Chain A
Amino acid sequence: MIDLQTFNIIPVMPEIIMALMGMVLLIFAVSQGNKSYRIVSWYVVLTCITVGAILLRFPQGVSITFGGMFVTEPFAVFMKLLVLAGASLVLLMSITYMQREKIARFEYPILILFSTLGMMVMLSANDLISLYMGLELQSLPLYVLAAFNRDNLKSSEAGLKYFVLGALSSGLLLYGCSMVYGFAGTTNFIGLAEVFALEATPVAGVVVGLVFILVGLLFKISAVPFHMWSPDVYEGAPSSVTAFFAVVPKIAAIGLLIRVSMSAFGGIAEQWQQVLMLVAMGSMIVGSMAAIVQTNIKRLMAYSSIGHMGYALIGLTAASSAGVQGLLVYMMIYMFTTAGVFAIILLMVRKNMQVETIDDLAGLAQYKPLMALCMAVLMFSMAGIPPLAGFFGKLFVFQAAMAEGMYTLAIVGVLTSVIAAYYYLRIIKVMYFDSATEQLDNVEDSGSNFVMRASAFFAVVFITIAWPIVEAIHYAVDSLLFL
C-alpha cells in the first residue's frame, strides 16, 4: 500500500530543478538584456538534457507524493523524456531562426522552459487540481509565444485567437472537473478509479463532466471538432513557435489524456470510447481531406497533424494495453518526424526572407539534394509507407484497433491514410519532378540542419532499432495500468 501522507520531495526533483533554473536564467537574462539570447537558449537546452539525465536515473516503480497529487512512474518518466527531447530539438533548430527573423529576445527560451515545466507537471498530475495547474502553466507561455512576433499582424492575431479559444477550453475543462468532483466526491485519480470500479453505470453528471474534461484536452491536441484554431495559429505564429506547438504540447496532452482516461476513468471506458472513436474518425477525415487544398506548408502541417492525432487516438480508443503502447510508438515517431519537417520549413529562406508556400520548394532536389532527400524521407514516413518509421506507428495502432474488433475505425484509418498520401506525395512531386524557378538561399544554421538530418536518419533506421523502443514503451505502459 502506498502511503499518501508521506511527504516525499524526491519525485518532484526534476520539476523543482527546472523551475529554479528558469528563475535563475530569467534574472540573469533581465540583467544582461537581449544580447544574452544565445547563451540563455543554450542553457535551456542544457537544463532539458540535465533533467532528462536525472529522469533516466530515477528509481523504478511508482512513487506518489504531495498527498496523492503528484505521481511518477516509468510512464511519466518516458513521456517527460519525450517532451524534453522535443523541447530541446525545437530550441536547437530555432536559435538561429529567431535571430534571422530579428525576434531573438531572451524571453523566448525561458517561455519554452516554463511551458515545458507545465507539461511535466501535467504528465505527473494525479489529481484534477494538479492537472489544471500543469495545463495552465503550459498554456500561458504558449499564448505569449504565439504572439511573439508582436509587430506582425498575423502573429498577434494568432496569439489572440489561441488565447481566447484556449481560455474557453480551459473553462470547459474546469467546469467538467467541478462536475466530476460534485458527483464522485473526489478529485484524486486513484479515488476516482476506486469509485468507478464499484459502480458499473455512472450517474449522468459524471459522464457530462467527463465529456467536458475530454473536450478541454482534445482542444489541446487539436482533434476534430476542436481543431479550428490550429491552422490559423500555425500559420500566424513564428515558424519556430509553430514547430513547438506541433510537437511538444501534443505529447503532453496525449500523455495526460491517457492517464485521465485509462487510470481515472478506466472503469467507465465505454463512456469515453465512443466519444474518442468519433473524434478519431473526424480527425482522420478532416485532416486528410482539408490538407489537399492547402498551399501554405505550415497550414498543411496543421491539417497533417490533425490527421495524425486521429490515428494516435485510434490507439486510445482501443482502451487496451496494446492500444496505449501503439499510441506511444505513434507519438514518438510523430514527434521526431514533425520536428524534422519543421527544421526544413525553418530553412526555407529566399533572398533573406522566410518563405512558406509549397511551391517555394520547387526543384529543391536539383540544387539541394540532401535537404530534398530528408524531406522526401520524412514525407514518405508520415504517409506511413514502409520501411520508414511512420509505418510502424500505424501498424501498431491498427493492430490494437483490430484486436478490439473496431473494424470500421481501422478501415476509415487506412482509407484516409491513402488520401493523406496524396498531399505528402505532392510535396515530393514539387521537390523532385518540378524544376526550380528561383533557388532558396544557403542558410548558415547548423541547428536546423542537424535536426533535419537526425530526424530523417531516425525515420530510416527505425526499422532496425524498433524493438528496444517498443520494449521500453511496453514497460512504461505496464507501470501505468497496474497503478
Chain B
Amino acid sequence: MNTFPILSLITFLPLLGALFIFFINGAKQEYIDRSAKTAALFVSVFTFGASLFMYSLFKPENGDFQLIETFRWFPSLNISYKMGVDGISVLFVLLSTFLTPVCLLASWNSIKKNVKEFMIAFLILETMMIGMFCSLDIVLFYVFFEGVLIPMFIIIGVWGGPRRVYSSFKFFLYTLLGSVLMLLAILAMYLHAETSDITVLLNTNFPIQMQTWLWLAFFASFAVKMPMWPVHTWLPDAHVEAPTAGSVILAGVLLKMGGYGFLRFSVPMFPVATMEFTWLIYGLSVVAIIYTSLIALVQTDMKKLIAYSSVAHMGFVTLGIFTLTEQGMEGAVFQMLSHGIVSAALFLCVGVVYDRLHTRNIGRYGGLVNNMPKYATVFMVFMLASVGLPGTSGFVGEFLSLLGAFQVNTIVATLASTGVVLGAAYMLYLYRAVVFGPLDKDDVKKMLDLDKREITIFLPMIVLVLWMGIYPSTVLNTVAPAIKKTITYHDQGLERAEKEEKQKGDIQ
C-alpha cells in the first residue's frame, strides 16, 4: 500500500505556508506585501500540483475509499485521525486546490490593506476545506467543517464592503446554529457505534427512530450550508459584502460542503429517514429553484443576482441527490463541480468590472462590448454555462439531475425544469444590461479591457467549462463508482431495516 501521506501533505501544506508568511517581516510595507503574495501563490500552486499528483495515484474504477492514512488521535476513545478519498471527494479536493490560486491571483491588486493577513487567512481556509473533504473520521470532519468559519468570518469582516459586519455575523451565527445540532447528532452516532470512523459508520445500522432525529440534525447543518430555501438568506448578504476572492471561494467550494455532506452522511447512513423525507427535499428544492430565480430577476446588484442564481442551482443539486437514482446523484455532483467553476468565474467577472468602476449596480454599466471585447467574450462563455447551454458544463449537471428527477416524480421534475427557463431569463438580462446597449456613460467608456493577469485566471476556467461540457466522461467515470457504492450503502441499510422490522413482527 501507499505509505506516503499525500492527503495530509495536501491538507497541511497551505497551513505551513500560512505559518511561513506569518513570520515574513521587513522594514517596507510594500516589500512585505509582495513577498506574502508571492509566497501564498507559490504555496497554493504547489498544493494544486500535489493534488494533481494525488489524483494520478487515485484509481477511479474503484468506488471505495483510497489513499487511506490513519494516525492515533484519541486511541482509547476510538477517535482517530483518518484521511482518505473516494470518487466524490477527490474531485472536490481538486476543485478547492484549483480555486485557491485563482482567488489569490484575483485579489492581487484589489486587496490593498493587511495583505499579509489576507493571504494567511486564505491559506488556512484552504487547509480547512481540503481537510473537510478528506476526513474519514466524523469528529475530524466536524473540526474542519466548523474551522472554515473562522477564516471566512475574518475575510468577510475585514476586507468586505460597507455592511460587512452585519454580513459576517449573519454568516457565522447562521452556520454555527446549524452545525451545533449536527455536533450532537455526531455524538449520538459515535455513542451508538462506539467509533467515529466513517467507513464503519457507513455499515452501521441506526435504529429507525434515531435515524429520523439524526437526519434532521444533519439536515439543519447542511441545509444552511447549501443553502436551501428558506435558510438561504445569509448567502446574498455574505456574497455582496465579501471581497471578490471571498465570494469566489464561498460560491465555489463552501456551498458544496452541504451537498457533499448529504451524499456522504444523510443518504448512505440514514436510508430509512432519507426515504421518509424526500418529499421535504423535493418541495424545498422546487421552491428554491422557482422562487429564488424569480428574485434573481429583479435584482439590481450584480453579485446579488448571481448569489440568488446559486441558490437556484443548488436546488438542482439537492433534487438530484435525493432522487436516489444513479443519474440524479451523478448529475448533482457534476452540477456542484460545474457550479463551483462557473459561479466562481461569474463572481470574478463581476470583480473585474468592480475593480474598475467600484459599483455593482447593473444600471451603471452598458455597452461594454464596445470597449471590452475580450471581457464580453469571457463573460458570455460563463453566462451561457450558467444558463446550461449544451456544450458547457452547466448543461450536463442540470440535464442529469432532471433526468433522475423524471424517473421518480414527473411533477417535481416538470416544475424544476421551469428553473432552466427562468435561469436563462435572468442571466441573459444581466448580460444584456452590462455588455450590450449604448455605451453612453463617460466613466464606463474609459474602462480598460482584461489585462494579462486576468486572462491567465480566466483561460483555464474556460477550458475546464468547455471540456466538462463536451466530454463529461472524464468526471463521470470518476464519480460513477463512488455513487454506485453510496447507493449500495443506502439499499443495504434499507434491507437491514426491513429485516429488523420483520423480526420485530415475528416476535410479536
Contacts and interface: CB of A to CB of B under 8 A. Distances in A.
B74 A466 contact: yes
Interface stretch (A134-142, A282-290, A409-417): A409-417
B39 interface: no
A417 B180 contact: yes
A387 B173 contact: no
A406 to B, nearest CB: 11
B297 interface: no
B153 interface: yes
Interface SS majority for chain A: helix
Nearest to A396: B77
A463 B147 CA distance: 12
A273 interface: no
A143 interface: no
A418 B165 contact: no
Interface string B169-194: 10011001100110110011011000
A53 to B, nearest CB: 28
B82 interface: no
Contacts of B117: 365, 369
A410 B114 CA distance: 40
B26 interface: no
B439 interface: no
Contacts of B350: none
Interface in A421-478: 421-422, 425, 428-429, 432-433, 463, 466-467, 470-471, 474
Contacts of B153: 425, 428
B176 A421 contact: yes
A395 interface: yes
Contact of A399 (B144, B154, B168, B190): B190
Interface string A156-194: 000000000000000000000000000000000000000
Interface centre among A380, A385, A411, A474 (most CB of B within 10 A): A385
A428 B153 CA distance: 10
A212 interface: no
A74 to B, nearest CB: 17
B158 A432 contact: yes
B169 A410 contact: no
Contact of B172 (A402, A411, A421, A466): A421
Interface residues of A, number: 32
A4 interface: no
A399 B139 CA distance: 12
A418 B181 CA distance: 10
A432 B146 CA distance: 20
A270 to B, nearest CB: 21
Nearest to A463: B143
B208 to A, nearest CB: 18
B505 interface: no
A432 B100 CA distance: 23
A410 B184 contact: yes
B224 to A, nearest CB: 12
A398 B187 contact: yes
B304 interface: no
Contacts of B58: none
B172 A425 contact: yes
B14 to A, nearest CB: 14
A229 B126 CA distance: 45
Interface centre among B142, B158, B165, B183 (most CB of A within 10 A): B183
B31 interface: no
A403 B165 contact: no
A414 B180 contact: yes
Interface string A376-415: 0000100001110001000100110011000100110011
Contact of A398 (B73, B177, B183): B183
B142 A433 contact: no
Nearest to B174: A418
Contacts of B173: 418, 421-422, 425
B32 to A, nearest CB: 12
B246 to A, nearest CB: 14
Contacts of B142: 386
B158 A386 contact: no
- Counting contact residues on chain B (CB < 8 A from A), the size range is 35 or more
Contacts of B164: 433
Nearest to A399: B187
A402 B188 contact: yes
A415 B191 contact: no
B74 A467 contact: yes
B188 A418 contact: no
A369 B165 CA distance: 19
A268 to B, nearest CB: 26
B200 interface: no
Contacts of B180: 414-415, 417-418
B149 A395 contact: no
A410 B165 CA distance: 30
Contacts of A398: 183-184, 187
Given A391-B146, A403-B191, A418 B169 contact: no
Given A398-B187, A432-B157, A433-B158, A467 B72 contact: yes
A365 B75 CA distance: 39
B24 interface: no
A418 B177 contact: yes
Contact of A402 (B114, B143, B146, B187): B187
A69 B168 CA distance: 55
B150 interface: yes
A387 B146 CA distance: 8
Interface string B382-396: 000000000000000
Given A385-B147, A432-B154, A467-B72, A399 B169 contact: no
B157 A429 contact: yes
A411 B183 CA distance: 10
A192 to B, nearest CB: 32
Contacts of B191: 399, 402-403
A470 B74 CA distance: 8
A386 B176 contact: no
Interface string B109-132: 000001001000000000000000
Nearest to B164: A433
A420 to B, nearest CB: 10
Contacts of B157: 428-429, 432-433
Contact of A387 (B72, B143, B184): B143
A429 B169 contact: yes
B154 A386 contact: no
Given A414-B180, A414-B181, A433-B164, A386 B146 contact: yes
A329 B231 CA distance: 35
A399 B142 CA distance: 14
Interface centre among B149, B153, B188 (most CB of A within 10 A): B153
Nearest to B75: A467
Contacts of A425: 153, 169, 172-173
Contact of A386 (B75, B143, B181, B188): B143
Contacts of A433: 157-158, 164-165, 168
A370 B183 CA distance: 31
Contacts of B75: 467
A402 B74 CA distance: 19
12 contacts: A365-B117, A386-B146, A398-B183, A398-B184, A398-B187, A403-B191, A411-B184, A414-B183, A425-B172, A428-B154, A433-B164, A467-B74
Given A385-B147, A407-B184, 11 more contacts: A398-B184, A399-B187, A402-B187, A418-B180, A421-B172, A428-B153, A428-B154, A429-B157, A429-B165, A433-B164, A470-B74
The 6 closest A-B pairs by CB, nearest first: A414-B180, A386-B143, A402-B187, A433-B157, A386-B146, A418-B177
